Structure 1
Amino acid sequence: MRVVPLDEPELPESSHYIVWDCRTAETARRWSRQGGATRLNRTIACGRLLNGRDILRLDDLGIRYACNTHPNIDGLLRLVGYIDAETISTRKERIAEAHDVANTVFNATTAAFGMFASVTHYDATFYENLSSEFDKRLKVAPLMLLVDAISANQETTIQHCSLVTTIAVAFGGVLGLGAADMERLFLSAFFHDIGKSVVPKHVIDKPGKLTPDEIRLVRSHVTVGYEMLRRFPETAGEIADVALYHHEMLDGSGYPNGLKGGEISDLIRLVTICDVFAALIERRSYKPPMPAREAYGILQAMGPKLDQALVAVFGEVVESLA
């Protein structure tokens, strides 16, 4: 969509146009000579000085939508939607595709519990309810767009987010979290790395050492993710905070703000442990998966960087994977 100024000399390349001035008929005649009436069949002409004769002349030139007032933006957008049925149809298809992607990823995440040898903490009813709630949110909230943002560009990232979410919910079961806290944990883990959707794939999957510029680019994913999530009520607050702070360490050695101890919430501590563990045990194009017990040893060796009381409890999750 383009709003065209008074002195636009050439017919713009666009899907439809808005001509908004008292010389609308003159502009339309000039464009009609350049591109023919078919180029103007989705043009909206507005002008307070347009009279009945002008409107008939515009119709002859291929402009079917004209008014002699300046419409408000809501009315204009409704008219654009009516005119551009093809665009609206495409948008609906895109939404449907994103919805399918979201459900596929969700189902793959919950199904991943098959990798656990122990299902002591697996509650089938809880997952059925969580799936229903997730599906309901997708229809009224921007979650499907956020899921699509993760999956559209980064197969590695969506794989990692699914694994972190699976591990996080298993950890939540060991901790005895209730349904509301489990949903918070699920969404926080699922979207924690959404900022990586803007990091080039060749950087995410680079097998060798990153350059200083590449390191800065990768680290920017926390602030990018926070900005993406805080825009929506469904993901603002603590879910966005997890995206921003999941690389903070309790000893202050993390990023982006070098937070310490009590400045880091329990939810962030949980997701951080699951994030580090998942990164170690998952397969990448440049490395094989690390055995679960070896990865757990690294968590323990990180000492004051992680909440070691939580790491100790996390051992039960590790044993079910070993």
Structure 2
Amino acid sequence: MDDARALATAMARSGIAADLMVIDDLARSPGAVPDAPVYIIAEPQGVATAAAWRAIARPASLRRTIVWGPNVTAGDIVALDNLGIGYVTKAGPRLDPLLRLIGVIDADYLAASRMRVTEAKAVAHSVFQATAAAFEMFGSMPTFDRDFYAGLSQDFSRQVETTPLYLLIDAISRNQDTTIQHCSLVTTVAVAFASHLGLSGREVSRLFTAAFFHDIGKSAIPKSVIDKPGRLTEDETRLMRSHVTVGHEILSRYPETAGEVAEVALHHHEMLDGSGYPQGLRGTEISDLIRIVTICDIFAALIERRSYKEPLPAREAYDIIVGMGPKLDQDLVGAFESVAFSVA
């Protein structure tokens, strides 16, 4: 509400009166929407509130509605246009000059947004198809169930069409080829490990999402740092480590990835002995879901080719994980052996 009031104040200086109202209160009192020159929806995303507003507002009111927030995406633009919302803007540190801040959703801008959504969904589908194909590397394991893996992949493909997940996948792939490949490999290994552990279908699905987005924070890290062939400086190390908090912040914005999935992004570099980051968690402070993703993350990083190293054989990578001793859950490390040795 403070953001909306600040915007309304800035508009008043330009002679535009904006009415501040609580959408939920209005929804409980049909017909009580007062007439105003401008209506403001000030939320991090705004689409859900705009949908509620559409249910009670007149078409003319929708055309005079501004959705204002820091995270307005191409997908939001398309959704808001479908709802009949007239204006959209990104919140910034300055509200003036007002007329440069607010822009009508014109035809060209909307067409570009629709094209961006189509492209992002195509990228997401391609990434999921590649991830699903990689499951075949574990085809020799007794727990391998091709039908289960196919169903899991189809479920996430459906989510690409109906949720903001495609935006998150696109954010990773646009910035870092190596990161999206790593996320795909970690997901493949984690799902095979979960199946080997006998986890339920719901738990495997949850792990799929957590593993896939565990490194989304790296979408904000410069490629020059991600792929630097030499040792990172202290400042570069701090920047690289910030990916866990950035990832947590990004994933917490969406109901599909808030909670446990976001917590995995934040804590997948924690170690049981307290030597990890960002919070130095120990023992029982680290959930089983995080412990599983951490092992798979380390293993995948070791067997991948990077600009600064050659890939290690799976057995050598597994020996390194065993050698980490109290840093990792050794019961899980022992159970992971057959998964690691299934990788050609």
Fold match (TM-score > 0.5): yes
Pick aligned residue for 1:72 from 39, 43, 53: 39
Distance (Å, rounded) in 1 between the aligned partners of 2:165 and 2:86: 28
Partner of 2:168: 146
Which has the higher Rg, Structure 1 or Structure 2?
A: 1
Letter in 2 for 1:176: G
Q: Secondary structure at the match of 2:116?
A: helix
Displacement after TM superposition at 1:117 (Å): 6.0
1:27-38 paired onto structure 2 within 5 Å: none
Q: Secondary structure at the match of 1:87?
A: helix
Q: Is the 8 A contact 2:125 2:160 kept in 1?
A: no
- CA gap of 1:131–1:116, structure 2 versus 1, over 3 A, is closer
Q: Secondary structure at the match of 1:320?
A: coil
Q: Is the 8 A contact 1:292 1:318 kept in 2?
A: yes
Q: Secondary structure at the match of 1:72?
A: strand
- CA gap of 1:124–1:115, structure 2 versus 1, over 3 A, is closer
Gaps of 5+ in 1: 8-19, 23-45, 48-67
TM-superposition CA deviations, 1:200-247 (whole Å, max 9, x none): 001011111110000000000000000000111110111000000000
Are 2:276 and 1:254 equivalent residues in the alignment?
yes
Q: Is the 8 A contact 2:268 2:291 kept in 1?
A: yes
Are 2:121 and 1:114 equivalent residues in the alignment?
no
Q: Is the 8 A contact 2:264 2:290 kept in 1?
A: yes
TM-superposition CA deviations, 1:268-301 (whole Å, max 9, x none): 0000000000000001122211000000000000
TM-superposition CA deviations, 1:57-77 (whole Å, max 9, x none): xxxxxxxxxxx9613244325
1:50-65 paired onto structure 2 within 5 Å: none
Partner of 1:21: 15
Displacement after TM superposition at 1:118 (Å): 1.4
Distance (Å, rounded) in 2 between the aligned partners of 1:173 and 1:281: 21
Distance (Å, rounded) in 2 between the aligned partners of 1:161 and 1:196: 11
Distance (Å, rounded) in 2 between the aligned partners of 1:98 and 1:119: 34
- CA gap of 1:300–1:228, structure 2 versus 1, over 3 A, is same
- CA gap of 1:246–1:86, structure 2 versus 1, over 3 A, is same
Distance (Å, rounded) in 2 between the aligned partners of 1:310 and 1:166: 17
Letter in 2 for 1:261: G
Q: Is the 8 A contact 2:121 2:166 kept in 1?
A: yes
Partner of 1:172: 194
Letter in 1 for 2:314: A
Q: Is the 8 A contact 2:322 2:330 kept in 1?
A: yes
Are 2:185 and 1:185 equivalent residues in the alignment?
no
Distance (Å, rounded) in 1 between the aligned partners of 2:159 and 2:343: 31
Letter in 1 for 2:86: L
Distance (Å, rounded) in 2 between the aligned partners of 1:84 and 1:260: 53
Distance (Å, rounded) in 2 between the aligned partners of 1:245 and 1:111: 28
Distance (Å, rounded) in 2 between the aligned partners of 1:69 and 1:317: 63
Q: Is the 8 A contact 1:185 1:267 kept in 2?
A: yes
Partner of 1:242: 264
Gaps of 5+ in 2: 1-6, 19-34, 41-61, 66-84, 89-103
Distance (Å, rounded) in 2 between the aligned partners of 1:83 and 1:112: 41
Q: Is the 8 A contact 2:295 2:333 kept in 1?
A: yes
Letter in 1 for 2:245: T
TM-superposition CA deviations, 1:116-151 (whole Å, max 9, x none): 461432222222322232122223322111111111
Distance (Å, rounded) in 2 between the aligned partners of 1:246 and 1:69: 49
Q: Is the 8 A contact 1:242 1:267 kept in 2?
A: yes
- CA gap of 1:173–1:101, structure 2 versus 1, over 3 A, is same
Distance (Å, rounded) in 1 between the aligned partners of 2:214 and 2:158: 21
Letter in 2 for 1:213: D
Alpha-carbon RMSD across the aligned residues, in angstroms, is: 2.3
- Give the length in aligned residue pairs: 266
Distance (Å, rounded) in 2 between the aligned partners of 1:106 and 1:140: 15
Are 2:109 and 1:87 equivalent residues in the alignment?
yes
Distance (Å, rounded) in 2 between the aligned partners of 1:161 and 1:143: 14
